[in-house]
Structure 1
Amino acid sequence: MLAVLVIATPVAAQAQPLDQTQPRDGVPAVDDSRAQSVIGHETLEDALAEVGATPAAFRSQSVLADRLADASDDYTARFPEAFAGVQIVGATGQVAVVRDSERSEMLIADARSRGFSVSSAPAPARQLDETAERAQDWADSLPPGQRDGVSAIEVDPSTGDVTVVVEDSATAPAPPADLGAGVRAAGLRPAQGSLGSGAAILDAPDPPNPDPGTLLSNSMVGGTRMYVLSPSRTVANWCSLGFNGIRDGRVVNITVAHCSSFTDQTTGQSVFRPGTVSEDSRSPRLGAFTSAEADEGMDAALITVDPEVRPRFRNSHVLGENALPIALSGTQSPVRGQILCKYGQRTGHTCGSVSGVDSATPGGVRNVTINLCAIAGDSGGVVFSATRAVAVTSLSNAFDRYDQPYPNCEAARTDLALRGTVPTMVGVTVGAISSRFPGLQVGAA
């Protein structure tokens, strides 16, 4: 078990406004309000309606995604040369098949017997996943400064393409030609908010001691705002809590590593430093990041919750309608075309369809790309399907031409439309995080 430093009198920082001096060249002043809510939808139903979906369709797609994931596992084993992948098209599950390959007709018949439609594909899933794995290994081998420029790997069974998604094509390293992967720039960046800080010392209240799983009036659930203070106590990030969980008997919160990343004054690069977590700059400490449970390349981390406040995290909930928590039950692997929703402390609920995954088989997905809005401060928050945990928010393209985050989702949609694109985020799947940290249980009820 990891040794965790518990501070009896937690230390927090008093946030100070960022410099509001207008930069040169007409660049907008830096926004210092990344802990302020700019929620556009008070209910999940409203967020779903914006993308033409209903709560019933959201639930049915979650069931369909499970069926496709089960079929994918079966087909990968039984039809390795013919099976190319799965996706959701409208309300239908679709299986991609390499026609004229060994046993392709048997696969087609089986897929149709399960109520799935069939599409043609040029290459089997195993081949696409092998290419994607090589591309991911290449990306993870890059020096930190270059690795940060690679946002995700995407696999498209319908075209047989494996694409390295980069922040900026002009500065990102080009993958080796023998990988057989294309490159696409998407302008995706970490969606956390940073601020300067001073220091203040506060006393912690006596914690309640309810039965495990009891939802308290002050429970900390997925999507709640969190304040991450650097070890030097000179800078902090605003982020969102991810899913609560348990590992090695400890209560943890599953989130992204960059919420505890801070600028190195020598190199100017953002690097992980194990910060402490509280609700805001004047609140007692709740827990801490640790170097042992952080993966910068994956952008995944666990927050170890301090023993005296564990009861507040002993739940499997995320924020829901009018900030009332929704109980989750289990996890799910995302499927291309599926509608997913996220909750972040800045923008609340936003929903959209899965536009990219980095594996042709759902169980192997590490990063999921979703056409929905997440802005600075939403990082680390929860991505879910009906009542299933799917991913935590990592990257977003909701930044203007001056690399400043948009103030809200409406501004992001309007300006990105003029630039020929839509708000998009990348999440790190809970399946991948669980594999990275063996023994992790998603849900702490």
Structure 2
Amino acid sequence: MRRTFARRAAVIGSAALLLLGPAAAVAQAEPEPVETSTSSLPAELVEALQRDLQISPERFLSDAQRSQELAAFAETAREQFEAIFAGVWLDAQGIPTVGLTDGEGFDEARAAAESAGFTVARAENSESVLEDRLSALNDWLETQPPAVADLIRGIAIDVVNNDVVVRAEDVAGIQLPEFLDGVRVLFAPTELTLEDSADLQPVAGLAAPDALFGGDAYAALGAGEGLRCSLGFNAEDASGRPLNITAGHCDPNRAQAGTAWASQVHQLIGDALGQHLGSFEKTVLDGSDYGLIRPTPDAEDRFRNNGVRVPFAAPLPITGIADPVVGAPVCKSGLRTGYSCGVVTATGQSVEIGHRVLENGFSTNLCALQGDSGGTLVTGTLALGISSASNVGQYGMCEIAGFVSGLVGETPELFATPIRSILDQNPGLKVRTW
């Protein structure tokens, strides 16, 4: 039987409208976020914000905060106004918006939204109606032969266009039933390609900076393979011991994570291996995509910080965690492409990537290439997710990726695992905010 996608409502924004859409859950940092000034944003991030989003650092921080306020409102509204609630989003100007349909409770819901400082937009269908449509599509897929069903790699709700979106490997080969007339079909993502590093050798006496931050380069060596990836968020377990949260698909010997045969992690300095940093203690690719790197005793202190950066530049201090909200500004860091910024384009979606399904993930209109896997995604100074998959990872430059994807009416997309999902699966695990 075909694997189902509609385990929960998936929500996607409209590319034509800077990809707007709803929030997934209450966003509450652990600990509470601290007030952040623009002076804490490194110059490289400020440059990326201007280049990619044409927004100021002040706008980046304020939109990030408003997105989390929307996320908290959506959590309550989905229960209190289920019949008329149609999603939340930040629009292209950063205006927090709540979608509502006509019906009983509309005036009460509008008053609640407006008193919270949000704008109300009327919608034709509620989220619950769109979820029913999503479920009908999923049921239809279950009845189809592999030749049809295997073309579908993901399904999602588009709250902005009030419709359902299908992700497919071949957009020209999809013939949907009549009850799904008008459904948009988008290309499916592929796994973010990894750059082989099996030929790298340690260099005696190679010096390295003391601290290691999210976005710095590492090589994972195991089972006769080697992969170049980017460090994710520094963290601590329930015992206060340091860890780094990165992508699970960066582990070349996943079955042996946490054993004496686990993949070994080394710092990458240019094209050479630096210090032995640790090994993969846990690797997950079922539903989520994350790995936990346990540092060696000699390297532990290098991970005791809350920074994210472009390799060897000044770090951005992480002050809390956040939930992805469509339309919210997001920036990623990675060893290959450094900082790039865009917006969250979808939340809560399940998409098939290679031979696995990324569940409850989110996507962004960011370019990510070989080596960016495992790196960090932030909104403001809040940890948001870990880089997992891209639809343009095979290209050598983001400029080429943007041009090629534009020819088929698409934009680069980076798919990520929410940091909160990782923390929820690992009680006691905390992203460092100090």
Same fold (TM over 0.5): yes
Q: Does 1:186 align with 2:187?
A: yes
DSSP 3-state at the match of 1:63? helix
* Cα pair 2:253 2:263 within 8 Å, conserved: no
Q: Deviations over 1:343-402 (max 9, x none)?
A: 11100011112222226xxxxx93121111111111111100110000111111115xxx
* Cα pair 2:212 2:303 within 8 Å, conserved: yes
CA shift at 1:137, angstroms?
A: 12
* Cα pair 1:228 1:236 within 8 Å, conserved: yes
Take 2:305 and 2:408, find their aligned partners in 1: how far apart are those partners? 42
Aligned equivalent of 1:91, options 78, 94, 101: 94
**What does residue 229 of structure 1 align with?**
221
Q: Does 1:239 align with 2:242?
A: no
Structure 1: segments with no counterpart, 5+ residues: 1-40, 140-146, 207-215, 265-272, 360-364, 400-404
Matches within 5 A, 1:306-321: 306-319=296-309
Report the number of matched residues: 367
Structure 1 stretch 435-444 or stretch 308-317: which is displaced more?
A: 435-444
Considering only aligned residues, what root-mean-square deviation do their CA atoms show, in Å?
A: 4.0
Tell me: CA distance 1:225–1:381, structure 2 relative to 1, closer, same or farther (3 Å): same
**What does residue 254 of structure 1 align with?**
245
Take 1:247 and 1:444, find their aligned partners in 2: how far apart are those partners? 13
CA shift at 1:413, angstroms?
A: 1.8
* Cα pair 2:318 2:433 within 8 Å, conserved: no
Q: Deviations over 1:81-120 (max 9, x none)?
A: 22221100122100011211x3122101221222211122
- What letter is aligned with 2:247? V
Matches within 5 A, 1:62-77: 62-77=64-79
* Cα pair 1:162 1:180 within 8 Å, conserved: no
**What does residue 48 of structure 2 align with?**
47
Q: TM-score of the superposition, structure 2-length normalised?
A: 0.73
Tell me: CA distance 1:419–1:262, structure 2 relative to 1, closer, same or farther (3 Å): farther
CA shift at 1:305, angstroms?
A: 2.1
Q: Does 1:442 align with 2:434?
A: no
Q: Does 1:282 align with 2:273?
A: yes
Aligned equivalent of 2:360, options 357, 362, 366: 366
- What letter is aligned with 1:165? R
DSSP 3-state at the match of 1:282? strand
DSSP 3-state at the match of 2:341? strand
**What does residue 158 of structure 1 align with?**
160
CA shift at 1:423, angstroms?
A: 1.6
Q: Does 1:79 align with 2:81?
A: yes
DSSP 3-state at the match of 2:339? strand
Take 1:204 and 1:129, find their aligned partners in 2: how far apart are those partners? 58
Tell me: CA distance 1:130–1:383, structure 2 relative to 1, closer, same or farther (3 Å): farther
Take 2:230 and 2:378, find their aligned partners in 1: how far apart are those partners? 14
* Cα pair 2:238 2:427 within 8 Å, conserved: no
Q: Deviations over 1:387-429 (max 9, x none)?
A: 0000111111115xxxxx2222122222222332222111111
Matches within 5 A, 1:197-216: 197-198=198-199
Take 1:58 and 1:137, find their aligned partners in 2: how far apart are those partners? 41
Take 2:316 and 2:48, find their aligned partners in 1: how far apart are those partners? 15
Tell me: CA distance 1:181–1:109, structure 2 relative to 1, closer, same or farther (3 Å): same
Tell me: CA distance 1:239–1:151, structure 2 relative to 1, closer, same or farther (3 Å): farther
**What does residue 299 of structure 1 align with?**
289
Tell me: CA distance 1:378–1:137, structure 2 relative to 1, closer, same or farther (3 Å): farther
Tell me: CA distance 1:408–1:151, structure 2 relative to 1, closer, same or farther (3 Å): farther
- What letter is aligned with 1:349? Y
Matches within 5 A, 1:114-125: 114-125=116-127
DSSP 3-state at the match of 1:69? helix
Matches within 5 A, 1:340-359: 340-358=330-348
Take 1:202 and 1:188, find their aligned partners in 2: how far apart are those partners? 37
**What does residue 421 of structure 1 align with?**
410
Tell me: CA distance 1:133–1:199, structure 2 relative to 1, closer, same or farther (3 Å): farther
CA shift at 1:436, angstroms?
A: 2.2
* Cα pair 2:253 2:262 within 8 Å, conserved: no
